Each structure stands twice: as C-alpha cells, then as structure tokens.
Amino acid sequence: MRKSKASFILLILPLFIFACSSTKQVQKKPPSKFTGVTLSKGVDDTGTIGIPLEPTTTFSTQDDEVIAHLKFENISGKHRLRWDWYDPNGNLYYSTGNFPVMTSRGKYVREATAWHRLSIQGDKAANYPGEWEVKVYFDDELLESKRFVMKAITDVQAP
C-alpha cells in the first residue's frame, strides 16, 4: 500500500508542478536600451562598468586620446559592435571591425559599457586637426554618430 501511495504521489507531483507553472505568466526581460555615446578624455574602469572622465567634444593635438564610451542596458544574446573613426576630410581613419558582444544563453546583462580609444598625441591622428566623427554600429546598424573637434596646439607658443 505504501509503495502504491508513494508511486501515486511521484506520478501526480510532476503534473501538479507543470500545471501550476503554466498558470504563471513568464516574465520577459526588459527591452534593450542604449544611453548614447559620450566622448571623453579618459575612462574610469576600476569598477564593474566604465565611467567617462572629462566628457567633452573638444580635444587638442596634445591630448592623449579621445574615448567614445557607450552604455547599454538589458542586453542579451550575440551581437556585434563597431566603431568607425572619420578624419576631418571625411575619410575612414580607423575601424575596429565587428567586436563580439555576448551574454550567457538565456541570460541578460542589466548594465554594461563599452568604449574605444583613438590615440592622438604621438600618433598620426595629431596631424589632422579639424572636425572628426565617430560612428558606432550595433549589429551593423548605425546606433549613433558623434562629432568632435581636434584643435592644433604646438609645443612652442609665440611670445
């Protein structure tokens, strides 16, 4: 009798669990959101996400770099992220190519950041003062375009 009662409970229990779970609404992850591109002179990457330091759209040929920083929320699955940097003549100066962005299967990341640096001082970019542009692509679609100015500064200033 005990065996048949235990067998009956084991047989009924899975049906009860599945019946109850089908009555609950499956919660979906919130939609992905991008908070835009921030240009800055640095990034604080000591925490779990990067934070832009000295946000600006004006740089000089004496600055170390331009950082294009991107923050996104609720990201899941496999994606591609790309930064294209255009010089003042409108020519493609540098492209990162498609950089993979992945999360674990069935999971999503609540908050994440990504950034790319364009070196200035000591690099050939310092030879191209003027208005530059960086375009950020997500899955080959333009996410945002940001313009910035790089001013020519010489080491020796006239009196």
pLDDT at residue number 14: 36
Residue 57 in 3-state DSSP? coil
pLDDT at residue number 48: 77
pLDDT at residue number 23: 31
pLDDT at residue number 155: 53
Residue 61 CB partners (closer than 8 Å, separation 6+): 120, 121, 126, 129, 150, 151, 152, 153
Which superfamily does 33-151 belong to? Macroglobulin (MG2) domain (2.60.40.1930)
Residues in the chain with pLDDT values less than 70? 1-30, 155-159
Extents of the domains making up the chain: 33-151
pLDDT at residue number 29: 66
What number of H helices and E strands is found in the chain? 1, 10
Distance (Å, whole) CA 106 – CA 137: 24
pTM: 0.75
pLDDT at residue number 4: 40
